[in-house]
Amino acid sequence: MSLLVVGSVALDDVEAPGGKVEGVLGGAACYFSVAASYLTKVAAVGVVGDDFPTEHLEFLASRGIDISGIYTAAGSTFRWGGRYHESMNDRDTLFTDLGVFETFNPDLPDSHRDPRYVFLANIHPSIQRRVLEQTRAPQFSAMDTMNFWIEGTNDELRQTLSQVNGLVINDEEARQLTEENNLVSAAHAIRDLGPHTVIIKRGEHGALLFDEHGIFSAPAFPLRHVKDPTGAGDSFAGGFMGAIAKHDQVTPEVLRSAVISGSVMASFCVEDFSLDRFRSLRADEVDERFEAFRKLTRF
Ligand code: AMP
């Protein structure tokens, strides 16, 4: 197996200045795996309730994603609701109904224990660590986290961080985790906690990669119309990890090009609600936007 992701599979309600959707496909594992599927073979691990529409699983499978690690439990699927402000930079969480996600603590099937690359999406840090410990020496492992875990489970989070190779985190969370206001200082402080590669996502301002070779900065693709930023971070992570898995190397060059692939996938994600943009997105459009990034950043 090339790439494994563990994370939420959700039904989302989203309100944005351009519209409103209810009960649509969401969840970090879905955004991640669909974005990564343009670059590599990916397997998703998660849980859904018995109310989860099978058409969503069919969509994931149609992208070539191995969904055998997404199991169904009796109860309701994880549901999340968010509302974006006019600027689209800020959002309010309207509700988080954990449902079957509350007791999610997967035992990886044997077929999933040997991935070369692992991504631990935003879940309880102890569960992230337990999943990582079930895998056999992946080539590169990375994780995400959020304010909720930074505030509530800081010790567990630090323990998990000490075991992964990479952290993909947004700017506010990086500041909160390290109590450093300056992002360069924050990234250094995170590297001291364990991960040798740190990516700080800055929404519409792009992303910064920090590793032992220095700093790499990628812009976000300038788009005229952004419909729904939900899942942009997870799509970024999917593009990033997918590109590393595709090259099957973790060199400074691959990591930098993977940041661009992450930015490409995030830029498509925000063009429509839910995962809808990916339903029609073609591989040649992905290649075209990667080239557009080259043009955007070359001088
Ligand atoms: P992002 O916009 O990258 O933060 O990702 C939003 C996605 O994460 C939505 O599809 C939600 O269903 C999912 N999500 C929101 N809150 C959580 C949470 N506490 N744990 C796991 N997934 C979540």
Instruction: Specify the residue with its C-alpha closest to ligand 1, atom 14.
Output: 27
Tell me the average pLDDT of the chain: 97
pLDDT at res. 287 = 98
Q: What is the pLDDT of residue 117?
A: 98
**Ligand 1 in reach of 91 Cβ (< 6 A):** no
Assess contact for 231 and 13: CB atoms under 8 A: no
pLDDT score of 1 more than 80: no
Distance 214 CA to ligand 1 centre (A): 30
Domain CATH number, residue 183 = 3.40.1190.20
Q: What is the mean pLDDT of residues 268-294?
A: 97
What does pTM read for this prediction? 0.97
Of 80, 119, 240, the one to substitute when testing ligand 1's pocket (max ligand atoms within 8 A of C-beta) is 80
Are the C-beta atoms of residues 49 and 74 closer than 8 Å to each other?
A: yes
For residue 186, how far is its CA from the centre of ligand 1 (angstroms)?
23
The torsion of the CA quartet 113, 250, 67, 51, rounded to 10 degrees, works out to: 110
| Calculated CA dihedral for residues 14, 20, 25, 27, nearest 10 degrees | -10
Residue with token string 């988080």 = 96
Mean pLDDT lowest for which of 1-5, 54-58, 192-196? 1-5
Ligand 1 centroid – CA 41 distance (Å): 23
Q: How far apart are CA 7 and CA 28, in angstroms?
A: 6
Does the Cβ of 23 fall within 6 Å of ligand 1?
A: no
Average of pLDDT values for 146-154?
Answer: 94
CA of 93 to the centre of ligand 1 (A): 10
Task: Tell whether the model's pLDDT for residue 186 goes beyond 80.
Answer: yes
pLDDT of residue 43: 98
pLDDT at 90 over 90: no
Share of the chain above pLDDT 90, in %: 97
- Tokens describing residue 5: 């992701």
For position 88, what pLDDT does the model report? 86
The minimum-distance atom of ligand 1 relative to the CA of 11 is 12
Phi/psi at 214 (nearest 5 deg)? 120, -150
Considering its fold, how many domains does the chain have in total? 1
Cβ(233) – ligand 1 distance below 6 Å: yes
d(CA 187, CA 110): 35
Task: Please report the pLDDT score of residue 220 as a whole number.
Answer: 94
- The pLDDT assigned to 87 comes to 85
Residue 192 has pLDDT above 80, yes or no: yes
Q: What is the pLDDT of residue 69?
A: 97
* Domain residue limits at 176: 3-297
Residue 79 Cα: closest atom of ligand 1: 12
Mean pLDDT of 44-69: 98
Choosing from 5, 8, 30, 201 the residue with most ligand 1 atoms within 8 A of its CB, the one to mutate for a pocket test is 8
